[in-house]
Amino acid sequence: MSWPRDEAKLERVRALMVEDELDALVVRAPDNVLYLSNFWGMKGYEAVVFPREGEPTLVCLEASAEDASRMAWTQDVRFLRGYAEDDNRRAIALFERAISMDPGFGLAHAYLALALLVEHDYDDAPEPIRNRALDIAQRAVRLDPGDGRCHQFLAQAYLYKGAYEQALSDSERSVALNPNDANILAQRGLVLGYVGHAEEGIGLIREAMRLNPFHPEWYWGALAILLYAGRHYEEALEADRRIASWKKPWHLARLAACYAQLGRLEEARAQAAEVLRLAPDFRLSAVRLRYKHPADVEHVLEGMRKAGLPE
């Protein structure tokens, strides 16, 4: 609901900031975002940067633009990474532009490598894309070896090339550089899961969720992958339900595998039917999985096979 801007309340906050010698507040808890901006996003992605002087800034998902325009007290609304089909395509163009302006900007290289992988469906990316992402991520680390995010995305690029030892090394380095970065911990957990250490990886992702209670949805996807690898099928289902809105064939195929491993074959077959409705050419023989150990690959395929997905 839209309420008139409460200038008296905002001035009380600013007076307290003067007393405590604070130049700005950065708030993410939904109640605090609402208090300072009148915007209630209910997603946990939102933040407000509230300066002692000047207009506050609301940060939210682009999908919330209409609500923000109607409800927020501030006109300065910025948008977070979204999930529209062309978001990563647009990001690639912007990162390339940033690099053209500053070729030594390591983090721009790192995010360009990540955006390339995301745009082309991660481990399903064609080999030339994976090669290019790896080259760019290596350049990022050379340019800025002290930024954990550069090592994080290099580890991801190595993972999708099947270079497991390098992926482990760089993900370990990323955590050493910034052990309180929740994204880095979650990514390290995923790497550990792919090389056969699912339980250790699950612990790291749960720690990442503790550090960032308003984490992005991909944490649930990563946790679901590792819970399945660890044979925790009920918990994997619960994690997958948190991202039910994704509705992508691969995600639904993993749901089908969980149901099948639990012996809930009717539900498994229903999910498998939805996979084939969305992707009629889905075949297990075409599935590419980047696990280090063949037994882990077979474990995933076994569940999907039990669910009735075709070879």
pLDDT tens digits for range 139-184: 999 999 999 999 999 999 999 999 999 999 999 999 999 999 999 9
Taking residues 29-36, what's their average pLDDT? 86
Let me know: does 235 contact 227? Beta carbons within 8 Å: yes
Q: What is the pLDDT of residue 245?
A: 66
* Confidence category of residue 84, pLDDT binned at 50, 70, 90: low
Neighbour-count burial for 60-80, b at 16+ CB within 10 Å, e otherwise: bbeebeebbeebbbbeebeee
**Which letter does DSSP use for residue 197 in this model?**
-
Let me know: does 291 contact 262? Beta carbons within 8 Å: no
Range from 40-54, 87-101, 179-193, 210-224 that averages highest in pLDDT: 179-193
Let me know: does 257 contact 289? Beta carbons within 8 Å: no
Helix or strand holding residue 27 (H, E) = strand 24-27
Q: What is the pLDDT of residue 1?
A: 54
In angstroms, rounded to a whole number, what is the distance separating the alpha carbons of residues 267 and 27?
Answer: 42
Helix or strand holding residue 79 (H, E) = strand 76-80
Taking residues 278-301, what's their average pLDDT? 92
Q: What is the CA radius of gyration of the chain?
A: 22
Taking residues 299-311, what's their average pLDDT? 94
pLDDT in tens, 263-278: 999 999 999 999 999 9
Report the range of poorest mean pLDDT among 59-73, 95-109, 223-237: 59-73
| 3-class SS of residue 51 | strand
Let me know: does 41 contact 30? Beta carbons within 8 Å: yes
Question: What pairs with residue 35 in β-bridges?
Answer: none
Let me know: does 258 contact 264? Beta carbons within 8 Å: no
| Domains of the chain as residue ranges with CATH | 7-80 (3.40.350.10), 83-178 (1.25.40.10)
Taking residues 234-242, what's their average pLDDT? 91
